[in-house]
Amino acid sequence: MASWRFLLLISVCVILSGHAQVFESSPGFIKVHEGEDADLIWTTRDEIIPWELIQSFFHTTVHNDNILVVVYAGANPSTFHECKDRCEHLRGTHEIGIRIPNVTTADAKSKYIIVLKIDIQGQNGDAVIYIYEKPDQAQLTSDHMTEGNDLSLTCISRSNSLPEQFRPNVSMTYKWTRNDQDISESPPDRHSFEDNERKVLTISDIATGDCGSAYKCIGQEKGSRLESDESEAYVIDVRCKPSSPTELFSEATARSLTLSWTPGWDGGTPQTFTITYSAEEFEKTIPDIPDSPDSSRISYTLTEGISARKHYFVTLKAVNSQGSSGVSWISIATPAGDGDSTNIGLIMGVVAGLLVLIALCVVAFFVIQKFRKLKEADDVELDPKQCAIT
């Protein structure tokens, strides 16, 4: 116990000079995910001879409370505090350092320091372990939007990685979707990003065709595999013509047509619906049918001009202050009504009566014919001219 304390005392108290000439390179900014290994490696200008060197590794400051690893003149390394029975000593001819396995946020330190003594004397604290954490949910904002102008959407997601003071040193990159299709690498026409980080998406010449397009974004620190939760959808809602109603169905009776449909996007302003229906020598338009307050299906029944056994052509469109949607249509045939059934029954009754009458006539004809033959036979038997004279 006394021996390693003596080594620590030497490591801390020796005043070193010429540090810049000792090290060729330092670990610098080491970015890792939790659970990965972090290798802190310094390279030296001169060859490292272990038995002529005392190596000490610290975090934050050169202080006994922050000592991690000590290697004394070629002996086995001694580990302390956060590195106790955990860290590994790394050494080559011109390389020296430590490996911290399975890092956690507790290893995210703003400075790791190496101190060399005896044959090579130097100190360097140019090493940081930066541990990636999942960023905050992305947020989408926009500038003022009007038809014909450009629209800029800005995505922001904030880092939660550690140490906190080094977050500005790691840039955030963004991924974008339009109607759930990725556009990050290949943006559509009139879409562009300001830079490789893709923080700002610009949509040029906003037109009615852009209405209803939904954009989302995700934030991710460069080099990290951890993505933020995606932003809420930003839907382009400049005033546009409404979308066409869908799922148009019908039920027909001999005296009515009942239509039902699902309303589409209203274009950003209140919409109504217009029905036009026609048959031979008949046409009628019904405007201003109210929209559903919760976008559920709408049902409407037509009665005027509807009669049995006819074909009707029906069109449906949505209308708002910007114009009309495309037209949905359906062709409907009404069934036979109650009056038609009566007429058919009457006709069938007449036909059946005629068939019965014809059958009776045929039977009567054969009966008459048979009666005539019997009478002629009786007349022959009574003729005196045909009797024998005795």
Q: Which domain holds residue 22?
A: 2-132
* End position of a domain, from candidates 132, 150, 182: 132
Determine the pLDDT at residue 387: 39
Q: What is the mean pLDDT of the chain?
A: 86
Residues 155 and 79 in one domain: no
Are 180 and 256 contained in the same domain?
A: no
Q: Pick 150 or 84 by higher pLDDT.
A: 84
In the chain, what is the straight-line distance between the N-terminal and C-terminal CA atoms, in Å?
Answer: 178
CA 335 to CA 348: how far, in whole Å? 19
Cβ proximity of 105 and 34 under 8 Å:
yes
Is 14 in the same domain as 98?
yes
In a domain, 323, yes or no: yes
Residue position matching structure tokens 């209803």: 212
Could you report the per-residue pLDDT of 152-181, keeping only the tens digit for each? 999 999 999 999 999 999 999 999 999 999
Q: In the structure encoding, which two tokens stand for residue 260, read together? A: 């039902």
Asked if residue 378 has pLDDT above 60, the reply is: no
Report how many domains make up the chain: 4
Count the helix, strand and coil residues of the chain and give each as a percent rounded to the nearest 5: 20, 40, 40
Overall average pLDDT of the 132-139 stretch: 98
- Clarify whether residues 167 and 125 are in a common domain: no
pLDDT band at 16 (very low <50, low <70, confident <90, very high): very low
28 in Cβ contact with 127 (< 8 Å): yes
Q: Tell me if 227 is assigned to some domain.
A: yes
Task: Tell which phi-psi region holds residue 323, choosing left (phi > 0), alpha (psi between -120 and 50) or beta.
Answer: left
Domain boundary among 111, 132, 153: 132
The 10s digit of each residue's pLDDT in 86-130 is 999 999 999 999 999 999 999 999 999 999 998 788 999 999 999
Domain boundary among the residues 178, 200, 235 is at 235
Q: What is the pLDDT of residues 20-66, one digit of tens each?
A: 489 999 999 999 999 999 999 999 998 988 888 899 999 999 999 99
CATH number of the domain that residue 171 is part of: 2.60.40.10
The CA distance from 135 to 218, in Å, is 9
| Residue 207: predicted pLDDT | 79
> Per residue in 245-273, pLDDT tens?
999 999 999 999 999 999 988 877 899 99
